[in-house]
Structure 1
């Protein structure tokens, strides 16, 4: 039962986190398109920022587990 609950909780957190990253990326794209006026550059920049954010979170988690 506890193993099942852990799996469901982990999947729920992953789903919510992914949805929030997608929403954040979409908002960044909209804002950057208005500021920059170049749709392709805004898209690439927003995706790069989101990937960087995810890598920073994973790197921080990895560094915390090393102790």
Structure 2
């Protein structure tokens, strides 16, 4: 005996889509602020402090990006 299953496509409402978009914007803004704060703090370190951490100035942007977004 064969049976069929119906799948109803669930489409989010306009309000749900607007809400998700708003949450996405807030999340992106928070991530960007974290990136800028991390970049500012690392940039404020002296060459000696960076060397103590095993870093050099050319690595600061990529480290701040990776720390915030978790990818390179």
Calculate the TM-score normalised by the size of structure 1: 0.60
CA distance in 2, matches of 1:9, 1:52: 22
Aligned to 1:15: 29
Q: Which has more helix, going by share of residues?
A: 1
> Among 17, 23, 29, which residue is 2:43 paired with?
29
Q: How does 1:1-67 map onto structure 2 within 5 Å?
A: 1-33=15-47, 35=49, 42=57, 44-53=58-67, 57-58=70-71
1:15 Cα deviation (Å)?
A: 0.6
Q: Which runs of 4+ in 1 moved over 3 A?
A: 51-55
CA distance in 2, matches of 1:18, 1:9: 14
Q: Which consecutive unaligned segments of at least 5 residues does structure 2 have?
A: 1-14, 51-55
Calculate the TM-score normalised by the size of structure 2: 0.56
